Chains A and B, each alone.
Chain A
Amino acid sequence: MNKQSIISIQGLSKTYDGGFQALEDVDLEIRKGEIFALLGPNGAGKTTLINIVCGIVNPTEGRVTVDGHDIITGYRATRSMIGLVPQELPTEAFETVWNTVSFSRGLFGKPANPGHIESVLKSLSLWDKKDNKMMTLSGGMKRRVLIAKALSHEPRILFLDEPTAGVDVELRQDMWNLVRGLRDSGVTIILTTHYIEEAEQMAERVGVINQGSLILVQEKQELMDRLGNKQLRLHLHEPLQGIPASLSGFDLEFVPESCELVYTYHSQRERTGVTMLLLALGEAGITFHDVDTKQSSLEEIFVNLVTWEK
């Protein structure tokens, strides 16, 4: 096990009874105290991976340890460390918020602690709803309750499976502030999300999974630097009839609608070609009144990776 690792996944595979292979030989190390984003299209295996670590799904092959404890033989130790916010919104319709959150704490082997439950509910703006029945809450509120349930037993690892699905912008920001606070207090957070900008904002490392295989795991910034293209957009004074022959050696695209010349390059390369391009533009007599650059988003990188895999 890596010195910093808190979750170690080795050779993990899962084939469901119907023959569908959800995971294939996955190796992954999650570091203590990090926010790790697991990205992948629908059906990629993200939820299966999480469910195996949490004990909800049986692995077919491979081994998973949490803080050195095997998830099968040492399930009491591993599960008591983990909090899970599932993708769906399963709730006990007739229970109150307070009861359902308190139930979770007991279920995970912790003695009653009304002070902690109060603090969790307040941090999620649920305190005034504590006596409301679950059936009376909106989808966003139910999502908060699920987070409260996951935090009720003070987990050291928190899995957030699509936590902001169906949640409004304000609440989403509240949630991410809470997640950052948890990370600062030492909680390891593993999240899956379709809002890639969230992973981009929140995560320190990113894993991309597709068709059950982990395509890559990398520091978010390294990934963006390695695979991210940068675009230099030149706003021209006059439109071009076409790309002049003297500029054909550059990766250029002319956008007539906005009268822009777009140059795509890798920002991490020693020679980006920007200087050469600007000189060549001057020689060709092409003038421009403004210039801006844009870095590829994680979403664009992700789409490229998945498309490349296909």
Chain B
Amino acid sequence: MNIYAVKAIYVFEMARTFRTIYQSILAPVISTSLYFVVFGAAIGSRITAVEGVSYGAFIVPGLVMLSLLTQSISNASFGIYFPRFTGTIYEVLSAPISYVEILLGYVGAAATKSIILGVIILATATLFVPLQVAHPLIMLTFLVLTSITFSLFGFIIGIWADGFEKLQIIPLLVVMPLTFLGGSFYSVNMLPPFWQTVTLFNPVVYLVSGFRWSFYELADVSLWVSIGMTGVFLTGCLVTVWWIFRTGYRLKA
């Protein structure tokens, strides 16, 4: 294992976060705070509690998940796309480093940033709503698993994209709508039966549901189904990344 190489990529990527701290950390914290103000305090005060949990507190897991997904994808996709765009990827490709080590460096850094952000958002949430975490270990598991999975997904997008527009298409046109429609701001049970069924095709539902369960023991689907679906998506991403490295897709001619 080329530990020095993994460390070099990891530290290099983390340094980018601290160099762009307003964009990386402050902006998501402010936007999440605004969600709390608008949905939690202003509108939420007029909405009755959802299954015994105040609306402000109910949306906390969904909001964390929203930031986690978008930031994981954004961090990881940019992390690998930028060297491809500038041409500095030549150095990574010519270094004595395995594909697993490349992943550990890039995806590890992206996931770390997301986890830090998730924790900051949770800390911010406590300023607005009373927060309880019924199962901290499960909560942490979902936080880490989701960050890794969607960082892998972002890494795939960063390899696939051949322009800055494509880099934004999936996060903005697919992930964001799926997150909003994935029960971040409501319980799936509030929907008419037909839409409840349709919603089950949205993978984000399982993430939000499982994550919310770790806070309030409230879930739209079983915890194990949530964990299983996250595992399926993680496996799918790993297989895709393996294929990318095996074929050299958009990395090696």
Cβ of B15 and Cβ of A107 under 8 Å apart?
A: no
Cβ of B95 and Cβ of A88 under 8 Å apart?
A: no
Most A CB contacts (10 A, CB to CB) among B2, B98, B252 go to: B2
Helix, strand, loop or mixed for chain B's interface?
helix
CB-contacts of B46-105 with A (<8 A) = 83, 86-88, 90-98
Given A57-B253, A111-B4, A103 contacting B94 (CB threshold 8 A): no
Chain B residues contacting A107 (CB-CB under 8 Å) are 4-5, 8-9, 91-92, 95, 97
Say whether B164 faces chain A, with CB atoms less than 8 Å apart.
no
Cβ of A80 and Cβ of B96 under 8 Å apart?
A: yes
Say whether A291 faces chain B, with CB atoms less than 8 Å apart.
no
Cβ of A149 and Cβ of B91 under 8 Å apart?
A: yes
Say whether A174 faces chain B, with CB atoms less than 8 Å apart.
no
| Among A57, A92, A109, A110, contact of B86 (Cβ-Cβ < 8 Å) | A92
Chain A residues contacting B9 (CB-CB under 8 Å) are 107
From B9, which residue of chain A is reached at the shortest CB distance? A107
Which bracket fits the contact residues of B? 20 to 34
CB-contacts of B234-252 with A (<8 A) = 248, 252
From B85, which residue of chain A is reached at the shortest CB distance? A90
Cα of A194 to Cα of B26 in the assembled complex, Å: 50
Given A55-B94, A91-B86, A108 contacting B15 (CB threshold 8 A): no
Chain B residues contacting A90 (CB-CB under 8 Å) are 86-88, 90
**Number of A-B pairs, beta carbon distance below 8 Å:** 80
Cβ of B96 and Cβ of A75 under 8 Å apart?
A: yes
Cα of A120 to Cα of B11 in the assembled complex, Å: 22
Chain A residues contacting B96 (CB-CB under 8 Å) are 75-80, 108-109
Interface size on A, residues (CB 8 A): 36
Chain A residues contacting B12 (CB-CB under 8 Å) are 95, 99, 103
From A74, which residue of chain B is reached at the shortest CB distance? B96
Cα of A17 to Cα of B11 in the assembled complex, Å: 35
Cβ of B15 and Cβ of A99 under 8 Å apart?
A: yes
Cα of A106 to Cα of B97 in the assembled complex, Å: 11
Cβ of B95 and Cβ of A108 under 8 Å apart?
A: yes
CB distance from B72 to the nearest CB of A (A): 22
User: What are the interface flags for A54-87 relative to B under an 8 Å C-beta threshold, 1 for contact and 0 otherwise?
Assistant: 1111100000000000000001111110101010
Chain A residues contacting B15 (CB-CB under 8 Å) are 99
Chain B residues contacting A105 (CB-CB under 8 Å) are 4, 8
From B248, which residue of chain A is reached at the shortest CB distance? A58
From B88, which residue of chain A is reached at the shortest CB distance? A90
Cβ of B19 and Cβ of A106 under 8 Å apart?
A: no
Given A56-B90, A77-B96, A93-B86, A17 contacting B8 (CB threshold 8 A): no
Chain A residues contacting B16 (CB-CB under 8 Å) are 94
Cβ of A82 and Cβ of B94 under 8 Å apart?
A: yes
Cα of A103 to Cα of B5 in the assembled complex, Å: 8
From A53, which residue of chain B is reached at the shortest CB distance? B94
Most A CB contacts (10 A, CB to CB) among B93, B96, B98, B252 go to: B96
Say whether A195 faces chain B, with CB atoms less than 8 Å apart.
no
User: What are the interface flags for B1-21 relative to A under an 8 Å C-beta threshold, 1 for contact and 0 otherwise?
Assistant: 010110111011001100100
CB distance from A150 to the nearest CB of B (A): 9
Most A CB contacts (10 A, CB to CB) among B5, B9, B83 go to: B5
CB-contacts of A91-130 with B (<8 A) = 91-95, 99, 102-111
CB distance from B129 to the nearest CB of A (A): 38
Cα of A57 to Cα of B251 in the assembled complex, Å: 9
Cα of A76 to Cα of B252 in the assembled complex, Å: 17
Cβ of B86 and Cβ of A108 under 8 Å apart?
A: no
From A93, which residue of chain B is reached at the shortest CB distance? B86
Chain B residues contacting A82 (CB-CB under 8 Å) are 94
Chain B residues contacting A110 (CB-CB under 8 Å) are 4
- Interface pairs A-B: 10 shortest CB-CB: A106-B8, A90-B87, A79-B96, A54-B94, A76-B96, A80-B96, A107-B95, A109-B2, A90-B88, A106-B4
A residues sitting closer than 8 Å to B (CB atoms) are 16-17, 51, 54-58, 75-80, 82, 84, 86, 88, 90-95, 99, 102-111, 149
Q: List 12 A-B contacts (CB under 8 A).
A: A54-B94, A55-B94, A77-B96, A79-B94, A92-B88, A93-B86, A99-B15, A106-B5, A107-B9, A108-B5, A109-B5, A109-B97
B residues sitting closer than 8 Å to A (CB atoms) are 2, 4-5, 7-9, 11-12, 15-16, 19, 83, 86-88, 90-98, 248, 252-253
